Amino acid sequence: MSADVPAPRKTVLAGVSNETFLTFFMIGVLVVLFAVACLFVPNFYLLQNIINLFSNYWFVIILGIGVTFLLITGNFDMSVGGVVALTGVLSVWFCQGYNVSQNALANGLGLPYGAAVALALAGALCIGAVNAFFIARLRVPSIIVTLATMMVARGIAQVITRGAQRNTSLPDVFGVIGNTFIPGTSVKIAVLIMVLLVAAAYVVEKKTVVGRRTYLIGANATAARLSGIRVSGHLALLYMVSALLAGVTGILLASEYKAGLSSRAMGYEFDALVISLLGGVSIAGGFGSVLGMFVGAIILAVVTSSATGLLLPPDWQFTLKGIVTFIAILAQRFALDRRKG
């Protein structure tokens, strides 16, 4: 089996940057994992299954964009899962009919869908602003601030849904965007949005001054400041964008299920972090890419879906996910060290 490992040969990849090297390395890992899964899981190679691999993880990948950018600057955003729940619940609550039922959970503010979405996204931006203020301005460690806002955001969602969910008295328009398919396929529009966002993020990362600043801050925040980069302004921008992306995810998920659930996206902040790390983003900052994160997400998808295909009990799936992630990241570091040495 080791024969078909696309071993990173120095002769082929000697000239490319470490980042490209790592992306190729993780694509290699992905190909191997896929090949192994095809051997053991029936029908794994079918096109429909491959499409599912890409489309089942769109929400984590959208969250991963913001998380990756922030991780490149050397900061965490653990609040994204909470923001998804909050935005979803807010959009439902704003949109539910006003005073239409005896049941408090069926009554909302009766706003038109567009206004409900806009206000819900404003709610997401508020969480982003809190993150930005404490991290960029007051320099509180990002892990502390975003863990707090993660709980606050989810907590507010719980208050609004009384710990349950809101799913009644919603207009039909509410369920449209989450349940529309790309014509002629079984792929949801949300997947298309994800692909467009990843493409846009790739351009920003590689081709723009904003992307450059992100790497510079991660590489050396002090030097960045002395080189005239407004570090806190840039971090604030990234936290706002990350919250906005989480908000969009929340809107799309709420629409798909036509429900606002306070426990939605529980643990997604960790999935987003894991796929970034799988994609080679350095936890110390200054290194990594959105493309790598995307590959990381597919690796995780292959592992999870082959575990399902093998009828592994769900309890074991989680363990398997953990082990594969750990080995993949170790292999990645090892390959990078070998290359440097």
Partner 1 sequence: MSQTANVLEIKDLVKDFPSVRAVNHVSFDIKRNTIHCLVGENGAGKSTLIKVLTGAMLRSSGALLLNGEEYWPHSTRDAKEKGISTLFQELNVVDQLTVAENLTLGMEDTRFGFLRATDKISAMVSVMNSLEPSIHPKMLVSRLSVAQKQIVEIAKAVATESDIIIMDEPTAAISEGEIKRLFTIVKGLREKNVTVIYISHRLDEIFEIGDYVTVMRDGRHIGTKPVSEVGDRSELIRMMIGKTVFEQYTPKAQACKDPLLVVRNVSNHKLHDISFDVHEGEIVGFYGLVGAGKTELARAIYGVDEYRGEIRFKDRRLSPSPDKAIQAGIALVPEERRSQGLFTVLTIRGNVPVMNMKKISRSGFVNASQERKVTREYIDKLRISTSSTEKEAAKLSGGNQQKVVFAKCLFADADLLMLDEPTRGIDVGAKSEIYGIVRRLSEEGKSILIFSSELPEIMNICDTIHLLFDGRLKATLRNGCDIDNEHVLHIVTGGDAP
The residues of the shown chain that bind partner 1, judged by CB under 8 A, are 17, 207-213, 215-216, 219-220, 222-230, 286-287
Report the alpha-carbon distance of residue 260 to residue 244 in Å, rounded: 18
Long-range CB pairs of 130-138 (<8 Å, 24+ gap) are 131/77, 131/79, 131/239, 131/242, 131/243, 132/235, 132/236, 132/237, 132/239, 132/240, 133/236, 135/75, 135/235, 135/239, 136/231, 136/232, 136/233, 136/235, 136/236, 136/239, 137/232, 137/236
**Closest Cα to residue 91, out of 263, 267, 258?**
258
Name the minimum Å distance from CB 70 to partner 1.
Answer: 17
User: Of 14 and 39, which has the nearer Cβ to partner 1?
Assistant: 14
Q: For residues 107 and 232, which CB has a smaller minimum distance to partner 1 in the complex? A: 232
- The residue among 223 and 330 lying less far from partner 1, judged by its C-beta, is 223
* Cβ nearer to partner 1, comparing 205 with 256: 205
The CB-of-222 to partner 1 minimum distance in angstroms stands at 5
Q: Which is nearer to partner 1, 2 or 222 (CB)?
A: 222
| Exposed / middle / buried, residue 229 (Cβ in 10 Å: 0-12, 13-18, 19+) | middle
Sign of CA dihedral 28, 29, 33, 39: positive
Distance CA 179, CA 200 (A): 23
Closer residue to partner 1 in complex, CB, 137/162: 137
- Nearest approach in angstroms of CB 211 to partner 1 is 8
CB of 230 to partner 1, least distance (A): 6
Token readout for 136 is 């960029």
Backbone angles phi, psi at 237, to 5 degrees: -55, -45
Residues listed for the chain? 341
* Min separation Cβ 114 and partner 1, Å: 29
Least Å from the CB of residue 66 to partner 1? 19
